[in-house]
Amino acid sequence: MPVLEATELYRFFHAGDDEVVALRGITVALDPGELTALRGPSGSGKSTLLACLAGIDEPDGGTVSVVGERMSRRSEAERARLRARHLGMLMQSGNLFEHLTVGANVRLQMQVSGRDRPDEIADILDSLGLDGLANVLPAHLSGGEAARAGLAVALAPKPPILLCDEPTAEVDAMTEQRVIERLIEACRIGTAVLVVTHSATLAARADRVIDIRDGGIVHD
């Protein structure tokens, strides 16, 4: 049974007199343990789709359900509760609190999701090549390190659903490999992983590749 289901999602934006259709009727379901790569050119709607799936943005049409509960058209507080319980997210804007160290960011996410395992923090950072950075503030990380720290935060509570926007941007080939292995490991324990990526290496390792153009799915 899918852990995330989105049906006929529409999202419109207005810029002056112009209307941009960012999502035009996207239907997608994610199964536990599946690694899905989401590809598409710049402006095709990838980030908008992720934000709608995560309940950060509200679609103008269609519904999103996570682990059997409807997420769309609910109050921000209810969406936040569902997100905390079921979703790990790495968005392009980043998901690190600047005044907290990397380790404290990971810990906070564990606490928010109700799965507080401080003994696991070092291992999570290690597995993403971030050993030694637990006590560092996000401002002192490189772009690639910050993305991986964000991924550590998203992975820490072992969520049933993980949504990531370009987790391997700004990293070398070896680090990319490490991130991919970590995502596959998350799938092995049953997480449904959806990754926006331009990486051919990542797409080649995915169970499924979805291509979007102009807000619609052209290949699944």
Question: 4 or 23: whose CB is closer to ligand ATP?
Answer: 23
Question: Closest separation between CB of residue 81 and ligand ATP, Å?
Answer: 24
Q: Are 24 and 214 in contact (CB under 8 A)?
A: yes
Positions touching ligand ATP (CB under 6 A) are 13, 15, 20, 22, 40, 42-48
Say how far residue 108 (Cα) sits from the centre of its chain.
17
- In order of 22, 33, 59, 167, 197, the CA distances from 211 in angstroms are 14, 20, 20, 17, 10
Q: Are 9 and 23 in contact (CB under 8 A)?
A: yes
Question: 57 or 78: whose CB is closer to ligand ATP?
Answer: 57
Question: 158 or 198: whose CB is closer to ligand ATP?
Answer: 198
Question: 67 or 163: whose CB is closer to ligand ATP?
Answer: 163
Question: Closest separation between CB of residue 47 and ligand ATP, Å?
Answer: 3
Question: Closest separation between CB of residue 1 and ligand ATP, Å?
Answer: 28
Question: Closest separation between CB of residue 109 and ligand ATP, Å?
Answer: 23
Residue environment code for 137-164, b if the CB has 16+ CB neighbours within 10 A, otherwise e:
bbeebeebbbbbbbbbbbbbbbbbbbbb
Question: 61 or 129: whose CB is closer to ligand ATP?
Answer: 61
Name the token pair of 213.
């153009």
The crossing angle, in degrees rounded to 10, of helices 102-113 and 143-155 is 30
Question: Closest separation between CB of residue 149 and ligand ATP, Å?
Answer: 20
